[in-house]
């Protein structure tokens, strides 16, 4: 049986306020393959600063989001 590596983006970002944004501190975790040690992808190493931005964006969106139907949200 042969192994076929899954395809991932080179780097992921945080989705905050409807946009993909880098972590505030600019730090990422590097995810490597246990098979060969090669870099698979980089994932944001988010901190409380990133959470604060996400919570602020959620509060800003809440009034409009609350008026949106379930059908419109999907």
Tens of pLDDT, residue by residue over 5-21, are 788 999 999 999 999 99
Position 59 pLDDT exceeds 90: yes
Average pLDDT over residues 42-47: 98
Out of 19-23, 26-30, 69-73, least confident range: 69-73
Map out the domains of the chain as residue ranges.
14-66
pLDDT at residue 5, as a whole number: 75
In angstroms, what CA-CA distances link 26 with 8, 13, 37? Answer: 20, 10, 23
Strands 39-44 and 14-16: unpaired
For a pLDDT cut of 70, what percent of the chain falls above it?
A: 100
């Amino acid at each position: 049986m042969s192994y076929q590596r899954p395809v991932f983006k080179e780097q992921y970002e945080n989705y905050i306020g409807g946009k993909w944004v880098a972590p505030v501190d600019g730090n990422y975790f590097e995810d490597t393959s246990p098979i060969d040690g090669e870099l698979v992808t980089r994932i944001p190493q988010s901190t409380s600063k990133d959470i604060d931005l996400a919570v602020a964006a959620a509060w800003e969106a809440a009034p409009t989001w609350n008026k949106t139907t379930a059908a419109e949200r999907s």
